[in-house]
Structure 1
Amino acid sequence: MFLEKLKEITTFIFDVDGVLTNGDIIASDSGEFLRTFNIKDGYALQLAVKRGYLVCVISGGRGQAMQKRFEGLGIQEIFLGVSDKVEILDSLLLKYQVTADHILYMGDDIPDLKIMQVVGLPTCPADAVPEIKALSQYISPYDGGSMAVRDIIEKVLRVQHKWFDEHPSAADSGK
Structure 2
Amino acid sequence: MDTESYKEYLEQITTFIFDVDGVLTDGTVTIMSNGDMLRRMNIKDGYALKTAVDAGFKMCIISGGSNLGVQKRLEGLGIKDIYLGAHKKVNQFHEYLTKNNIDAKNVLYMGDDIPDIPVMKLVGLACCPQDATIEVKGTSHYISHKGGGQGAVRDIIEQVMKVQDKWDVNFDAKYD
| TM-score bracket, shorter-length normalisation | over 0.9
- Give the aligned partner of residue 34 of structure 1: 38
- Give the aligned partner of residue 117 of structure 1: 121
Paired residues in the alignment total: 170
Percent of paired sites with the same residue: 52
Match of 2:161, SS? Answer: helix
Give the CA deviation at 1:31.
Answer: 1.0
- Give the aligned partner of residue 156 of structure 1: 160
Q: Is 2:132 aligned against 1:132?
A: no
Corresponding letter in the other structure for 1:85: K
- CA shift in 2, pair 1:41/1:23, >3 Å: same
Corresponding letter in the other structure for 1:17: D
* TM-score normalised per structure 1: 0.94
* TM-score normalised per structure 2: 0.93
Corresponding letter in the other structure for 1:55: M
Deviation digits for residues 72-117 of structure 1 (CA, Å, limit 9, x no counterpart):
0001210111111111111111111110000000000011111101
Partner Cα separation in structure 1 for residue 113 and residue 41 of structure 2: 18
Residue from 45, 61, 81 that aligns with 1:57: 61
Matches within 5 A, 1:2-151: 2-151=6-155
Partner Cα separation in structure 2 for residue 139 and residue 49 of structure 1: 23
Deviation digits for residues 127-154 of structure 1 (CA, Å, limit 9, x no counterpart):
0000000110000000000000000000
Match of 1:123, SS? Answer: strand
Match of 1:95, SS? Answer: helix
Partner Cα separation in structure 2 for residue 135 and residue 156 of structure 1: 20
